[in-house]
Amino acid sequence: MDILKIIEKIEKNKTASKQELAFLLENISDSELEQLRQKAQMTAIQSFGKNIYIRGLIELSSYCKNDCLYCGIRRSNRNAVRYRLSKEQILSCCETGFALGFRTFVLQGGEDPYYTDERMCDIVGTIKSLYPECAVTLSLGERSAESYKRLYDAGADRYLLRHETANPDHYARLHPSSMSRKNRVDCLYELKRIGYQTGAGFMVGSPYQTYENLAEDLLFINELQPQMCGIGPFIPHRDTEFAQKPQGSLRLTLTLLSLIRLMQPKILLPATTALGTITPKGRELGILHGANVVMPNLSPQEHREDYALYDNKICTGHEAAECINCLSLRLKSIGYQIVTDRGDYK
C-alpha cells in the first residue's frame, strides 16, 4: 500500500478502509507524516484561520464511583486525595475565567454522585444566567438519558464523553466489567440526539491497543460525527495497575490529530493537556498538526494536583492568569492567537 495515496484518498473521500488506516498508522515515514501534517494544518487554517479557541477547564471533583483501570482518580485508588468544589467555588472560577476572556466553561469531574441533577442544573443555570454569552460544557461521565436531558434544559450546551476505545474487547481490558463500550456509545448517541454539541475521543497508546483499534476509533468518529474530538496520549499513573505500562507516543498522537483533521475539517480538536505533559511543546505541535482548541485549567490552584488522572500533569502550580499568558506567548511563537469566542461548531 502506498501511504501518500491513502492520504490523498482521505483528503478526497474523508475516509479510508480500516486496513488502510491501520497500515498508515503503523508505517508512515517522517516525510510522509510531514506531508500529512501540512495538509492537516492547511485544512485547520481554512476552517478557523490562525485562531485558537480556549475552554476554561474547571475540575469539579476528584471523587469517582467508577474504576477505570488507567485513571488515577479511580474509586479503588486509596492514595488519591479527594475534593469537590462548591457552587460558590465553581462560580468564582467562572468569574476569573470570564475576565481572562474565556467564553466556554468546561465542568469536568469524576462520576461523583454528589452532583445530582438538581445540584448540577442549579449550577449550570446560575452560570448561564450570570454569563449568557458563554457556553457551558459538561464532562461528567455516563448518566441517564433523562439526566442528560435535564442538564440540557438547564442550559448546558455541550458534553464531552470520550469513547476511550471503539473496540468492545479493548474497552473491556481498560474498564471494570460493570462498564461497557455499548453503554458509552449509547450515551454519545443520546447526547447528540438531545442536541448537545458532543465530543467523543480516545487515548493513544493505552495498554493493549493495536493499530487496528486506532483505525476503528477513526472510523467510529466518522460514524458518530461528533462536533468535538479529544485525543491525548495515555500516561501511566503510579497508583494504578497500569503504572508500569509505557506512555502513548507523541508521534502517533500527532499523526492521529492530523488524520482526524483531514477526515473532519470542521471538528473542534483540542491540543490536550496530556499532549503538553509528555513533551514541553506538545500543545504547539498539536496545533501545527491540525488542532484548534486548548483547554487551560481554571480550577482553584489548591486542588489542581489532586485531579490527577495521570502522573506529572502540567500547569498544576500556576494560576489561571499565568496559564493563559504562557499559552498566548506559546501560540504567538508559532503564529497563532487565542480568541475571545464561544467557539461553537459551525
Q: Which residues bind ligand SAH (CB under 6 A)?
A: 70-71, 108, 110-111, 139, 141, 161-162, 164, 203, 232, 234-235, 237, 274, 309-310
Q: Residue 2 CB, nearest distance to ligand SAH (Å)?
A: 33
Q: Residue 228 CB, nearest distance to ligand SAH (Å)?
A: 12
Q: What 3 state SS string does 55-114 have?
A: CEEEEEECCCCCCCCCCCCCCCCCCCCCCECCHHHHHHHHHHHHHCCCCEEEEEECCCCC
Q: Residue 253 CB, nearest distance to ligand SAH (Å)?
A: 11
Query: Which residue number, 161 or 324, has a Cβ lying nearer to ligand SAH?
Result: 161
Query: Which residue number, 141 or 226, has a Cβ lying nearer to ligand SAH?
Result: 141
Which residues lie below 8 Å from residue 20, measured CB to CB, with a gap of 6+? 1, 6, 9
Query: Which residue number, 268 or 274, has a Cβ lying nearer to ligand SAH?
Result: 274
Query: Which residue number, 233 or 300, has a Cβ lying nearer to ligand SAH?
Result: 233
Taking CB atoms, the residue at the shortest distance from ligand SAH is 141
How far apart, in whole angstroms, are the C-alpha atoms of residue 172 and residue 169?
Answer: 5
How far apart, in whole angstroms, are the C-alpha atoms of residue 2 and residue 10?
Answer: 13
How far apart, in whole angstroms, are the C-alpha atoms of residue 150 and residue 156?
Answer: 9
Q: Residue 81 CB, nearest distance to ligand SAH (Å)?
A: 16
How far apart, in whole angstroms, are the C-alpha atoms of residue 286 and residue 298?
Answer: 21
Q: Residue 344 CB, nearest distance to ligand SAH (Å)?
A: 21
Q: Residue 258 CB, nearest distance to ligand SAH (Å)?
A: 20
Q: Residue 337 CB, nearest distance to ligand SAH (Å)?
A: 27
Q: Residue 270 CB, nearest distance to ligand SAH (Å)?
A: 11
How far apart, in whole angstroms, are the C-alpha atoms of residue 47 and residue 287?
Answer: 13
Q: b/e string for 21-37 if b means 16 or more Cβ within 10 A? A: bbbbbeebeeebbebbb
How far apart, in whole angstroms, are the C-alpha atoms of residue 163 and residue 170?
Answer: 12
Whether the CB-CB separation of 293 and 268 falls below 8 Å is answered with yes
Query: Which residue number, 20 or 216, has a Cβ lying nearer to ligand SAH?
Result: 216
Query: Which residue number, 108 or 197, has a Cβ lying nearer to ligand SAH?
Result: 108
Query: Which residue number, 34 or 189, has a Cβ lying nearer to ligand SAH?
Result: 189
Query: Which residue number, 29 or 183, has a Cβ lying nearer to ligand SAH?
Result: 183
Q: Dig out the grid coordinates for 278 from the structure.
A: 509528555
